[in-house]
A and B are shown apart, each in its own frame.
Chain A
């Protein structure tokens, strides 16, 4: 609950609104892609490798498909995979983290060591192992794989935060007044770790979006006909010198979304702090 005195409300607002515009813009494109795209995703609607122009706002790829359409569908995939992965990572991580904090010495040490070992593996590697284990690359597999990959980081942070809260007098006070452990978890521990956790989960969301792009780049993400920014980057790789926009646009979209999410994490932290409410 550290408050930064130099963090003036005005500046906070600007970064927060900027993050809303960045993430909101991508989210809008993603949602819109369910109902409308300029062209059908897999149709070859133009010449090959056209530069951005009035009919193809982001140009076309080497098969003559509209890049802007792919970007819109890619936004949808990035958000679905990112949110899904964070949800799964949070469910696994928060549960095991709280369990570890409450557990006896031995179980706690075992879980903590387990988190550390899993964290030592790059998230992407863990995700690749999960994809390999399921023997198919699908949207669900990508979400599950990245969720599992993120869970040890969430678990470790949850464990540390929970231990901090457990050491506080108000937990002792709650126990003295006869509160059950379950109520303590829901009424005291979760509300007190959520502000810190939420910021971290938002950052994990950014990481998940990038990891999804990496999985797709490696051909382990959502398979066609889903468009993914990662796969677009991979497909544009061969023509990056002759038609750079094929790589620039998905790269830019990825950058905008991830930086927007990171800025949002900042705003989220402030909005959870009751001492800053109404400032």
Chain B
């Protein structure tokens, strides 16, 4: 079976600094893949490269194929088509990922309308509104009627992130990239959002690229993980394998540190 996403020897560099070095990995259809790394390890840049949204100063080399289409060096027209149809993204901070001056319903309606247009279906107000309500239901948001007209600052952080997820799903992508989607949320909300992402990915049978610095979070989501440090892949493998029997020193340190932290928490109880 061909992979949904294949990253081959990807190198990202500015004029004087290499940020990501010869990175290779692939994600199969419906697979949940985790990318672990400390800040500055190049994991977010990798996700931007997949979306074709790198800042102009950073030159990508190597190859990224998404459903057979080459992303590196692709014209904006092709990228625009892939974004919002094959790949969608959820960001770290839902407050800034939503337009503060646009009602939530309209923000979800934008990608919904583009999808309907792509599918050659009716785009009248009622159809779009119906689809938006379905999406709000899908991300388990209560009272869609009220939310439709609410502004981002009027709802809670967890609800904002659910709206952001609904926006990502609006275009029915094959791959959802979640870049630290729980980092800005409190712990109970984190659990809910992770559970939601897991359910949705299962229900809709889409692949997931989950990016986080938090081993425990990635462990709950991903089937396979890759650990990154200083722009290089250190270890790739089955999540259970990597988190219980890490091969690399750095990964081992991460796991021990996380375990020690957990133990400390347990001890307090």
Do A and B share a complex? yes
Is there a chain A Cβ closer than 8 Å to B85's Cβ? yes
CB of A168 within 8 Å of the partner chain: yes
Q: Which of B66-74, B93-101, B216-224, B257-265 contacts A (4 or more CB under 8 A)?
A: B93-101
- Cross-chain pair count, CB within 8 angstroms: 76
The answer to whether the Cβ of A242 comes within 8 Å of any Cβ in the partner chain is no
Cβ–Cβ contact B96 & A176, under 8 A:
no
CB atoms of B111 and A178 under 8 A apart: yes
Stretch of A7-15, A57-65, A187-195, A211-219 contacting B (4+ beta carbons < 8 Å): A187-195
Q: A169-B93, A274-B151, A275-B153 are in contact. Are A176 and B84 (CB under 8 A)?
A: yes
Contact B91 A178 (CB under 8 A): no
Is A177 a contact partner of B96 (Cβ separation < 8 A)?
no
User: Interface with A: B3-11, B129-137, B167-175, which one?
Assistant: B167-175
**A274 near B101 (CB under 8 angstroms)?**
yes
Q: Of A173, A191, A195, which is within 8 A of B98 by CB? A: A173
Query: In the bound complex, what is the Cα–Cα distance between A263 and B114 (angstroms)?
Result: 43
Q: Tell me if B22 is interfacial: C-beta within 8 Å of chain A.
A: no
Q: Are B89 and A173 in contact (CB under 8 A)?
A: yes
Interface size class of B (residues with CB under 8 A): 20 to 34
Known: A1-B100, A168-B96, A187-B110. A175 touches B171 (CB 8 A): no
Q: Is A170 an interface residue when CB atoms closer than 8 A count as contact?
A: yes
| B100 and A176 within 8 A (CB) | no
| Cβ–Cβ < 8 Å partners of A168 in chain B | 96
Residues A253-274 near B (CB distance < 8 A): 274
Q: In whole angstroms, what is the CA distance A178 to B168 when docked? A: 11
B102 near A187: Cβ-Cβ < 8 Å: yes
Provide the residues of chain B in CB contact with A178, threshold 8 Å: 80-81, 83-85, 111, 114, 171
Q: Cα distance A172–B51 when bound, in Å?
A: 10
Contact among B81, B100, B110, B151 with A177 in the assembled complex (CB-CB below 8 Å): B110
- Please tell me if the beta carbons of B91 and A173 are within 8 angstroms of each other in the complex: yes
Chain A residues with Cβ under 8 A from B191's Cβ? none
**A185 nearest CB across to chain B (Å):** 13
Q: Is the CB of A173 within 8 A of B84?
A: no
User: Is the C-beta of B88 less than 8 angstroms from some C-beta in chain A?
Assistant: yes
Tell me the bound Cα distance from A268 to B96 in angstroms.
24
A24 to B81, CA, bound (A): 51
In the complex, A192→B98 CA distance in Å? Answer: 12
Which positions in B face A, CB cutoff 8 Å? 51, 53, 80-81, 83-85, 87-89, 91, 93, 96-102, 110-111, 114, 151, 153, 164, 167-168, 170-171
9 sample A-B contacts, Cβ–Cβ < 8 Å, listed by A number: A1-B100, A170-B100, A173-B89, A176-B87, A176-B89, A177-B83, A177-B168, A179-B114, A274-B153
**Told that A178-B83, A178-B114 touch, could you supply 5 new A-B pairs with CB distance under 8 A?**
A169-B93, A170-B97, A170-B98, A176-B89, A177-B171
Q: For the complex of A and B, list the 6 residue pairs with the smallest distance between their C-beta atoms, beginning with the closest.
A: A178-B84, A177-B111, A169-B97, A169-B96, A176-B89, A177-B84
